[in-house]
Amino acid sequence: MPSTAYQVSAPFTRDDYGARMARAVNAAVEVGLAGVIITPGPDLVWLTGYRPHINERLTMLVLSPDQEPTLLVPLLERGDAEEAPGTALTSIVDWMDGSDPYEAARPFLRPDGQFGISDSAWAMHIIGLEQMLPGLSYRALTDCMPMLRAVKDVSELARLEAAGAAVDSVYDEIAGSRFSGRRETDVAADLASLMQQHGHEQVDFTVVGSGPNGANPHHGAGERVIKKGDTVVLDFGGLMFGYGSDTTRTVSVGEARAEVRDVHEVVRQAQQAAVNVVRPGVTCQDIDRTARKVISEAGYGDCFTHRTGHGIGVTTHEPPYIVEGEGQRLVPGMCFSIEPGIYLGGRFGVRIEDIVTVTENGVRRLNNTNRDLRIVE
């Protein structure tokens, strides 16, 4: 299926970016911050559409309630900054190589304020700002404003839905290809190629865990040759239209052993049970507990070694996290993975993952391929 089959709405507008900046300022005020400092990375892309080259030169957006949005950029990158759709709403201040970028930032930072700052900020820049304004203090955005990007609007949901449909098509194609006798890296290369054919501009990961390698949740792909009788975990995703995809299915090369079928059925039931409880008002940890209960009651509790899920948006991993201790309540528009797994060290692993979104009345899956154990060649 060509990538043109996946349609999204029009590009984000200045109004979209303006609303996001206003949301960030309001969220900062609610938690008692003087404002937020946004450095290159997903936060800056989401707020302005500006995706600068990440290097040692200081670039940062400052949002606070008592001044207009201000973007500090190196002089040589000002032209690129001015072309981004959301930066038309900011005051752009530049600094030149050889000058002090932290001094250039001084006029739009309160000397005694506490600012939220992007998780992606470089330590050298935080230290430079602290030395320039010793009264300034910082909190990581994931700590103080974790839900800033968590609730997606209609346009964002359309992009996530298209990305989900694309990787569904990739899975259907890869499952029809030959696995036996090929290396994990060969299958991973096919996955990456198919993702690009189906419209992904960025491939973030292609996990192909065959046999005992499947017992490592983040194995990646190695030189092991896949053989008949192997169970293979396929986990892949990336960015399409600027938004993430992430799905996992487990296949069997030839007929599966009874134990593999039984373990796979436990994981399938755990994933379905977790999806069934998603609705507004439920906490993130409730979903994790539901999946974990099914697996523990089947006797595999110690073999489920990671959280049940993670948020997804302009990155493939972001808040909310579906894990014990996370009391955040779900609201419509949140999008996250549900991906329980069982990993039997030295033998095999099973994981099933879908991206879901919270609706007004419940939940909707953004991945819809068959979740039964699929037999491949």
Domain match, 123 and 169 both: no
Residues 219, 213: Cα–Cα separation, whole Å:
6
Question: Which pLDDT score is estimated for 106?
Answer: 93
> In this predicted model, what pLDDT tens digit does every residue of 4-55 receive, in sequence order?
467 776 889 999 999 999 999 999 999 999 999 999 999 999 999 999 988 9
Question: Which pLDDT score is estimated for 111?
Answer: 85
Q: Which residues pair with 349 in a beta bridge?
A: 343
Q: Do the beta carbons of residue 360 and residue 333 sit within 8 Å?
A: no
Domain match, 107 and 224 both: no
Domain match, 140 and 218 both: no
Question: Which pLDDT score is estimated for 204?
Answer: 96
Does 7 map to a domain? no
Domain match, 167 and 138 both: no
Does 195 map to a domain? yes
Domain match, 196 and 295 both: yes
Domain match, 99 and 121 both: yes
Domain match, 266 and 371 both: yes
Q: CB atoms < 10 A from the CB of 277, how many? A: 17
Domain match, 132 and 169 both: no
Domain match, 276 and 324 both: yes
Rounded average pLDDT over 352-370: 97
Domain boundary residue, one of 114, 144, 174:
144
Does 89 map to a domain? yes
Domain range for 322: 154-376
Rounded average pLDDT over 297-314: 98
Residue 25 belongs to a domain with what CATH number? 3.40.350.10
Does 39 map to a domain? yes
Domain match, 221 and 175 both: yes
> In this predicted model, what pLDDT tens digit does every residue of 144-194 receive, in sequence order?
999 999 999 999 999 999 999 999 999 999 999 999 999 999 999 999 999
Residues 34, 112: Cα–Cα separation, whole Å:
9
Alpha helices in 239-372 (DSSP H): 258-276, 284-297
How many separate domains does the chain show? 2
> In this predicted model, what pLDDT tens digit does every residue of 90-127 receive, in sequence order?
999 999 999 999 999 999 998 888 999 999 899 999 99
In order of 5, 188, 269, 271, 373, the CA distances from 198 in angstroms are: 9, 15, 30, 26, 24
Q: CB atoms < 10 A from the CB of 350, how many? A: 29
Domain match, 133 and 43 both: yes
pLDDT at 242 over 90: yes
Does 126 map to a domain? yes
Domain boundary residue, one of 117, 144, 171:
144
Domain match, 47 and 98 both: yes
Question: Which pLDDT score is estimated for 5?
Answer: 67
The percentage of residues in the chain with a pLDDT greater than 90, rounded to a whole number, is 94
Reduced to 3 states (helix: H, G, I; strand: E, B; else coil), residue 349 is strand
Domain boundary residue, one of 111, 144, 177:
144
Residue 291 belongs to a domain with what CATH number? 3.90.230.10
Sorting pLDDT into bands at 50, 70 and 90, what band is 243?
very high
Does 233 map to a domain? yes
Phi-psi region of 234 (alpha: psi -120 to 50; beta: other; left: phi over 0): beta
> In this predicted model, what pLDDT tens digit does every residue of 260-302 receive, in sequence order?
999 999 999 999 999 999 999 999 999 999 999 999 999 999 9
pLDDT at 1 over 80: no
Question: Which pLDDT score is estimated for 2?
Answer: 43
Phi-psi region of 6 (alpha: psi -120 to 50; beta: other; left: phi over 0): beta
